[in-house]
Amino acid sequence: MTNKLKLLLATMGIYLTDVQFMTAKEKGLIAQSFITFVEGGFKRQHFTKRLYEHLHLHCGFIAHYNRAGFYDLYFADEGQKAKFFRQFDRSQSCKPAEGYWVLTGGNDVTQGYHDINNAMVDAYMELKDQTHSVLFS
């Protein structure tokens, strides 16, 4: 985990914990991948397998045939990018009714991952202005 990520997670008061199928270190690597993807302007090369697997397994996004199909659906067009990132915006879709995957406990698929999911949402909120300038430029 990088110092920047440690600082970001500590600032947000998020402490990642091990769960049955993922260590806290792996969760940190996913958060770092997400931050790199957002800061890097949503480039395909920054959309890692690790990030893709977490999004479709633990964040309420449906699985696609593969990572390329997921990327093409959500990031090939500006409207889809905006729709994707609304899922991470606490002022929009990311509310208890729609954002079950960020709740403590969640459901049987997201349970145990609320710490990393909230870290990703909080990271997005920190980077939101930068993200919107890339999304809508």
pTM of the model: 0.81
Task: List Cβ neighbours of 128 (8 Å cut-off, separation of 6 or more).
Answer: 89
Residue 74 has pLDDT above 50, yes or no: yes
Q: Where are the domains of the chain?
A: 3-135
Q: Are 60 and 101 in contact (CB under 8 A)?
A: yes
Please tell me the distance from the alpha carbon of residue 85 to that of residue 97, in angstroms, as a whole number: 17
- pLDDT tens for 17-52 read 888 889 888 998 898 899 899 888 899 999 999 999
Decide: 50 and 29 in contact? Cβ < 8 Å: yes
Instruction: Give 15 or 116, the one with higher predicted confidence.
Output: 116
Instruction: Provide the H-helix boundaries in the chain.
Output: 3-11, 24-39, 49-58, 67-75, 78-86, 114-135
